[in-house]
Amino acid sequence: MRQKIVAGNWKMNLDLNQGKALLLEILDSNINKDTLTIIAPPAIHLNSFNQMLSHTSIALAAQNCHQQDSGAYTGELSVGMLKSVGVEYVIIGHSERREYFMEDSLSLSFKVNNVIKHGLRPIYCCGETLTQRQEGEHFRTISNQIEQGLFQLNEMELLNCIVAYEPVWAIGTGETASPEQAQEVHNFIRKTIAKQYGDMVADNISILYGGSVKPANAKELFTCPDIDGGLIGGAALNAESFVAIGDSF
């Protein structure tokens, strides 16, 4: 059975004290124990959060990693470093990193490989821009991202991945893909995986929706048969909203 997942991507928000305060609010709330809850704070929070989460059901994620294990890569963090402070998941290829840091799916495949090698789980992001959707290129764009970023993995490795579909035009804009639009793409992703790996693998990989998810629309999105949860941005910075989204299954 696929996991139901709510992952909060805090992006570049909140200093350490602000982050601790938000995490304590979340911990004091009644978190849905039937849902896998993941927090992805800024990197400076990870070590402190690892200690705060040590006796909870909440998992810790990093927002990025480097593809090499060590070396002269000033400012970067290796997967081994992240693992040493309790990280279990790593977001790979978020649309903001694709846009602002020019990351492409082929280069992201090396990050995916390194995360898997170290026994962590990638949350691999894919999605189209507004222009690509308007021009009818969204399915081709997404299939290319999936194939170039993940299809170097074997079946067991892929089953350790989580896929997140994030329509770029719906991130931080207040716009949301309709449940029908989101389900259509999630189903397409699952069929793309099935063509390469078979139905067993495709049916057992969790695919999250990311794009202005909030309590008001989460339930309708999460009832779609191929949507297994959300990669939450802005709403993850509010404890009440984040917990409410986790209760939407």
List the catalytic residues: 94, 166
Contact 171, 215 (CB under 8 A): no
- Which DSSP state fits 28? T
Residue 86 burial by CB count (10 A; 0-12/13-18/19+): exposed, middle or buried?
Answer: middle
Contact 5, 162 (CB under 8 A): yes
Contact 105, 93 (CB under 8 A): yes
Span between the terminal Cα atoms of the chain, in Å: 15
Distances (CA, A) of 155 to 9, 150, 188, 193, 196: 27, 10, 19, 10, 9
CA 217 to chain centre: 18
Distances (CA, A) of 173 to 165, 167, 168: 16, 11, 9
Q: Phi and psi of 171, rounded to 5°?
A: -100, 115
Distances (CA, A) of 248 to 15, 36, 89: 29, 13, 22
CA 38 to chain centre: 9
The CB density around residue 243, as the number of other CB atoms within 10 Å, is 19
